[in-house]
Amino acid sequence: MPPLGASPLLAVPQLGATGVRQTINTGITSNQTSWNVRSAFNVAALNCQRPEHADILTAYKTYLKTNRIALGKVNKAVDTEFRQKYGPTFVRPREAYMTQVYNYYAFPPTLPKFCDAALVMAHEVPGLKPVDLAAFSTRNLAQMDGVFEQFYRSYEQYRADAAAWDAKYTPKASAVPVGTATTPSTK
């Protein structure tokens, strides 16, 4: 069975030539990193509702308040990056990308471990200064992505194990030579 109740038809992001998995967070700018971490924090605040994760929502509110100006600058910078890449119609590609980011973080099989990682991030918020937002984001994006990388490795192991099981235990179809099949006589 696939790990953590995942679909057996899941498309796992491929590893790039450098060995880095090609996810929504691969090859992004520093500003996009900060914005994606803000998005991850938002997903955690909305979805991590177990009592042991209660600090996430409080920390997220503090994070938004403390970093309001810095996050506003990051948002404008990301708009600029998308405008440079897509021109005046940049809003649609940016919104499509952000939908992918939110869906990435809200992936049900990874949610328990994602919430645990978000809790670790939440505990860093009280000491976070706006000037340190980029470093905080880089560190925590790597921590969040680690949850998904671990899941993808376990999913790839499931596929390898399933293929080995199928090779060993699935009955082989016997080939019947053409023209040797008999049909009942109608006489």
pLDDT tens readout for residues 73-98 = 999 999 999 999 999 999 999 999 99
Q: Which residue has the higher pLDDT, 158 or 105?
A: 105
Q: Is residue 33 part of a domain?
A: yes
Does 39 fall in a domain?
A: yes
What Cα–Cα distance (Å) separates residue 106 from each residue in 71, 100, 114, 140, 153?
22, 10, 9, 16, 18
pLDDT, tens digit, for every residue of 127-163?
A: 999 999 999 999 999 999 999 999 998 888 888 888 8
Instruction: Indicate whether 151 belongs to any domain.
Output: yes
Is position 8 within any domain? no
Domain that holds residue 26: 13-169
Report the number of distinct structural domains present in the chain: 1
